[in-house]
Structure 1
Amino acid sequence: MNTAIALKIARIPLRGSSVTIQTKDRSKGPGSLVSKVGQSLRHAIASGQYVPGDKLPSEVELTETHRVSRTVVREAVAAMKSDGLVEVRQGAGIFVLDPDIQAPFNRRIDKARVSSDLEVLEVRAPLEIEAAGLAALRRSPAQEEAIFECHRQILRCIENDQSIREADLALHFAIADATNNPLFRQHLEFHGAAAIPQSKVMPDPRPADQTAYRRMIHKEHEVIVMAISDRDEEAARNAMRDHLRGSQIRYRDLLRDFRAFSS
């Protein structure tokens, strides 16, 4: 293994490690706020504070309770909706879903949503490939550490059997920030949660499959992160291209499966 890469990997603390890295405080960033609100709502559901069929507080109430903008609340709810935890009923509110109800396959796959996610991926690809290359050239030491921390957070989510959606988006935000061109982050913020399609469109995938998928995504991210850390512009672009191309292929496969089942 390349010595420089080995040293960089060594800086990523393993589970249970006492190593502490000083990084810039980003606790007030949009990605962190979305994650904070999402985790609070997920905990409330998991603890039984809200049970299937219950209505969650309104958007206005959530913004006041968590002291965040409506955009942050909408992104957190969108991520939970994609994970099959809640349902947004127009004019009625946000309701907790029953994870034990198994819907038929052709109802569990939302064809329109898969198509929309694929469209976002196609538009996002050239900009994010460019962002990865620029991040490799321009990233500061603090920005490099922020990228590493986001990558570590994804691993923590995997180890705790949690959705990686919000942590995934935070990593892409960190890469966009490392370009030092604010338009790259604005592009991701515009698409919001749709910029990071859910790993499984069905809300009830087998746990082993879900974990395997998340670890695969983490491995793809690792190649991108290490290339940016090494200031290898070409490798960073190629790694991001491979990552996004893989996502597009997976979503096209879902659409093909949907058509086959529906025919």
Structure 2
Amino acid sequence: MTTQIKDRNKGPGSLVSRVGESLRTAIASGQYSPGDKLPSEVELTETHGVSRTVVREAVAALRSDGLVEVRQGAGIYVLSQEIPAPFGRKIDRARVSSDLEVLEVRAPLEIEAAGLAAMRRSPAQEEAIFDCHRYILQCIEQNESIREADLALHFAIADATNNPLFRQHLEFHGTAAIPQSRATPGERSGEQTAYRRMIHTEHEAIVVAISDRNEEAARNAMRDHLRGSQIRYRDVLRDFKAFSS
């Protein structure tokens, strides 16, 4: 598990990033136009030589950026990018609401996972958690999305519980389990960076507590982080309502 996490987080060459960037390039170049159906999950796993989990995470990232939609039983379809939205980004209220529901269900499990990780983590698992935390900072400094790196950190914490069901729960939801930042226009990109650094600081409290084997502090830090995530999601919904009214 630890090796897989580290391999998945070696910057632009990571598996999820590689598959995601390949699909983004194909969409941007016109290989797939709005309304076109992307290759099936099975075809994508064969083409890129990766697991279904990697494909699902890559597709989830594209979906969260408004590039594709997944139609149950029909496949993955490219969305039109021609209609402007608030701050230049499409906000899907139904998706944000659904992600908020995922966060609410996820909270008690991840709070428990943080406490168990503090008690059970091995030195190798501790190293994996720190590696993931450092990679998030690297993404921030390079002005890149932290969503995949954020998910990898939570995977590493789940693995440190030594109970595979915690990771399976996160894998089921993919990047929907990770907080989405509020959309901001290009000239206000500093707000996006500030948001990402705030997330990094919240993660640091969790990581340090796990490293110190402080079960109570780990649970409290994870609780504070997830409560903050829920508040931020509700802010996104309020922004949507204000724009729509």
On whether the aligned pair clears a TM of 0.5, the verdict is yes
Q: Deviations over 1:142-182 (max 9, x none)?
A: 11001000101111111111111111111001101111111
Which of 189, 195, 213 matches 1:213? 195
CA shift for structure 1 position 105 = 6.2
Show the counterpart of 2:96. 114
Which of 81, 84, 107 matches 1:125? 107
Separation in structure 2 between the aligned mates of residue 106 and residue 97 of structure 1, nearest angstrom: 13
1:88-237 equivalence runs, <5 A: 88=69, 90=71, 93-95=76-78, 102-104=84-86, 108-200=90-182, 202=183, 206-237=188-219
Separation in structure 1 between the aligned mates of residue 94 and residue 169 of structure 2, nearest angstrom: 22
* Change beyond 3 A, Cα 1:168–1:28: closer
Q: Given the two structures, how large is their TM-score scaled by the length of structure 2?
A: 0.82
Q: Deviations over 1:174-215 (max 9, x none)?
A: 101111111111111121221113223x48564222111111
CA shift for structure 1 position 30 = 7.6
Show the counterpart of 1:16. none
Structure 2, unmatched stretches of 5+, are none
Show the counterpart of 1:70. 52
Q: Which has the higher helix share?
A: 2
Q: Given the two structures, how large is their TM-score scaled by the length of structure 1?
A: 0.77
Would you say the 8 A contact 2:85–2:91 is kept in 1?
Answer: no
- C-alpha RMSD of the superposition: 3.1
Would you say the 8 A contact 2:133–2:204 is kept in 1?
Answer: yes
Q: Which letter does structure 2 place at the counterpart of 1:212?
A: A
Moved over 4 A (4+): 27-32, 41-46, 89-94, 104-107
Show the counterpart of 1:262. 244
Q: Secondary structure of the residue that 1:108 maps to in structure 2? A: coil
Show the counterpart of 2:3. 25
CA shift for structure 1 position 61 = 3.5
Show the counterpart of 1:38. 16
Identity %, equivalent residues: 68
CA shift for structure 1 position 49 = 6.1
